[in-house]
Amino acid sequence: MKIYNTFSKTKEDFIPLNPPKVTMYMCGPTVYDYFHIGNARSFIMADIIRRYLEFKGYDVNFVMNLTDVDDRLINRSIKDNIAVEKIAAFYSEEFFNDLYSLKIKPASFFPKATAHIREMVDIIKNLVGKGIAYEKNGDVFYNVKKFENYGKLSGKKLEELEAGSRVEVNEQKNNPLDFTLWKKTKEGEPSWESPWGKGRPGWHIECSAMSTKLLGKTIDIHAGGNDLIFPHHENEIAQSEACFEQKFVKYWIHFGFLNIQNEKMSKSLGNVFTAKEILKNYSAETIRLFFIQTHYGGPLNFSDELLGAAKKGFEKIKNLAITVDYEINKNTTDGTDLGFDFNSYYQEFSNYMDDDFNTPRATALIFDFIRNVNKVMAENSKINSIFYQKVKKFLQDTAEDVLGIIHFSELYNESNGSIENQLIELLLDIRTQLKQQKNYALSDLIRDGLNKLNIEIKDSKEGTTYKKNT
Ligand code: AMP
Ligand code: ZN
């Protein structure tokens, strides 16, 4: 199995430290708002990597942290005049709800930064003791010049960074590139006691502390969006390796960014969509299918058209799954099981996923499988139930357990679970049939009726999608 390691910029053989155990850390959300679909892409791709490692027989200890104290949270708290703890508690809960709705498997641990202040202080004390960090009036900074090869993950050289950096507002630092490990408390901010007086941790130290506490000093995989390569992950390496004097991470995995209509998602452009908003119109399976059709490492453009196409894809899988369940229930014992070569499909699925989690190829293979199963069913009138059981098992092992794009136990309520959505879909199916029969008077009646209920209908060559405007 090969993984593209951001550190070496090559695909490397995956050899975990203590197989079958694998330790994996994913930088989780700052809980100051609902998470958006860009975050969702990173969370879903990390989930699929974790699930595939489990499919391969690894015992994965998967940690995703919650940053519940940092600048963004404090700014939000000032803006809304609500305590940081209250905002963090509310959005942590919502984070778990949204993970559940997106069918993301819960991590083995979801540590909160504020529950690990002691561990952070211990690392900072160690760094100060070694002369790598220094204190100035209650703030503590990391002296990047003291860490040999600072910039080794991102490939940035200290001299270039210095030349390009703007002079920072913080006059306390010896060097503008030095980063904060501990911040002196300000009026109204959460704070903790420390050898440098009351204050709070910097963001980077949070991940170094939680990762080491829960997974050990050297871990197999550390993942996050590629916005985190510099400075966040670079700084994590500098902190952890200087403190523990051993390699911090074997494999660095970074997820490409999700853009909207070729633009960066940003609040000022008004194009930030929360996972919750998208889940109103599309099922978790459709959203996951949309994401996995692009390799995790590259950029991806988000659009309603592409989600509409993913929805059609999901319906193909679902239709086969329903047929298969129906046929298994009939329990036909005569006929043949057709000698369909399931093993080669398993083999190919593994080959693609072993190649740096090539989900686009693995997904194309599943559609190829569906096409061939449908063909076999069309060509044979009597098929033994064993065949259908094997089809179901293949789909469960791959499309369900690894990719999460079908769930056999929820076949009849996949459309976000609500009866309302299922009724809308039923009406749209009837409308499609009416249009095929050229009964435009009735098909328009359905469209106009739905429009009156603020349900917008969009026809494209991939099919019909709808959007509820609230
Ligand atoms: P944040 O709460 O912004 O720190 O982000 C949580 C996780 O989502 C991190 O691993 C980020 O790198 C990732 N992330 C943030 N924005 C995007 C985006 N537009 N596309 C993909 N991943 C993202
Ligand atoms: Zn982190």
Residue identifier of the C-alpha nearest atom 6 of ligand 1:
29
Owning domain of residue 231: 2-280
Same domain, 224 and 372: no
- The amino acid sitting at 315 is E
Same domain, 248 and 311: no
Within-domain flag for 294 = no
Same domain, 123 and 225: yes
> Model confidence over 54-71: pLDDT tens digits?
999 999 999 999 999 999
Within-domain flag for 218 = yes
Same domain, 255 and 334: no
Within-domain flag for 296 = no
Which carries the bigger pLDDT value, residue 241 or residue 159?
A: 241
Mean pLDDT lowest for which of 81-90, 213-222, 255-264? Answer: 255-264
Q: Mean pLDDT across the stretch 77-97?
A: 96
Q: Mean pLDDT across the stretch 295-323?
A: 94
Same domain, 229 and 312: no
Which pLDDT score is estimated for 165? 61
End residue of a domain, out of 247, 280, 313 = 280
Per the structure, the count of domains in the chain is 2
Q: Dump the DSSP string for 156-186.
A: --HHHHHHHPPPPS-TT-SSTT-EEEEEE--
Same domain, 105 and 245: yes
> Model confidence over 136-162: pLDDT tens digits?
999 999 999 999 999 999 999 888 877
Same domain, 13 and 71: yes
The CATH number given to whatever domain includes residue 157 is 3.40.50.620
Q: Does any ligand 1 atom lie closer than 6 A to the CB of residue 39?
A: yes
For 231-320, list the strands marked E by DSSP: 249-255, 258-260, 263-264, 300-302
- H/E stretch holding 63 reads strand 59-64
CA neighbor of 465 nearest in space, from 323, 314, 360: 314
Same domain, 248 and 322: no
The CATH number given to whatever domain includes residue 427 is 1.20.120.640
Mean pLDDT lowest for which of 286-290, 318-322, 458-462? Answer: 458-462
Q: Does any ligand 1 atom lie closer than 6 A to the CB of residue 65?
A: no
Within-domain flag for 78 = yes
Atom of ligand 1 nearest to the CA of 35: 2
Within-domain flag for 290 = no
Task: Please tell me the distance from the alpha carbon of residue 123 to that of residue 240, in angstroms, as a whole number.
Answer: 8
End residue of a domain, out of 228, 245, 280 = 280
Q: Mean pLDDT across the stretch 323-328?
A: 92
Q: Does any ligand 1 atom lie closer than 6 A to the CB of residue 224?
A: yes
Same domain, 368 and 225: no
- Ligand 1 center from residue 37 Cα (angstroms): 9
Within-domain flag for 80 = yes
Residue identifier of the C-alpha nearest atom 10 of ligand 1:
224
Within-domain flag for 235 = yes
- List 466's β-bridge partners, or say none: 457
Q: What is the mean pLDDT of the chain?
A: 93
Task: Count the alpha carbons within 13 Å of 254 in the hemisphere toward its beta carbon.
Answer: 22
Taking 90 as the threshold, does the pLDDT of residue 350 lie above it?
yes
- The amino acid sitting at 210 is M
Percent of the chain at pLDDT > 70 equals 96
Q: Are 153 and 6 in contact (CB under 8 A)?
A: yes
Q: Mean pLDDT across the stretch 130-138?
A: 97
Q: Tell me the best of 110, 222, 227 to mutate to test the pocket of ligand 1, counting ligand atoms within 8 Å of each CB and taking the most.
A: 227
Task: Please tell me the distance from the alpha carbon of residue 287 to that of residue 275, in angstroms, as a whole number.
Answer: 10
Mean pLDDT lowest for which of 13-27, 260-274, 284-298, 409-423? Answer: 409-423
Q: Which residue has the tokens 């079958």?
A: 20
pTM of the model: 0.88
Taking 90 as the threshold, does the pLDDT of residue 208 lie above it?
yes
Which pLDDT score is estimated for 409? 93
Q: Mean pLDDT across the stretch 210-218?
A: 98
- Ligand 2 center from residue 226 Cα (angstroms): 11
> Model confidence over 43-53: pLDDT tens digits?
999 999 999 99
Same domain, 315 and 370: yes
- Ligand 1 center from residue 468 Cα (angstroms): 27
Helix axes 284-292, 359-379, angle to 10 degrees: 120
> Model confidence over 434-462: pLDDT tens digits?
998 899 999 999 999 999 999 989 887 76
Q: Does any ligand 1 atom lie closer than 6 A to the CB of residue 258?
A: yes
Q: Tell me the best of 33, 36, 37, 39 to mutate to test the pocket of ligand 1, counting ligand atoms within 8 Å of each CB and taking the most.
A: 39
- H/E stretch holding 133 reads strand 133-136
Same domain, 215 and 358: no
Same domain, 145 and 220: yes
Phi-psi sector, 264: left (phi>0), alpha (psi -120 to 50), beta: beta
Cα–Cα distances in angstroms (integers) from residue 51 to residues 27, 48, 262, 410, in the given order: 17, 5, 30, 19
Percent of the chain at pLDDT > 90 equals 80
Q: What is the β-pairing status of strands 249-255 and 258-260?
A: unpaired
Q: Mean pLDDT across the stretch 416-430?
A: 77
Within-domain flag for 288 = no
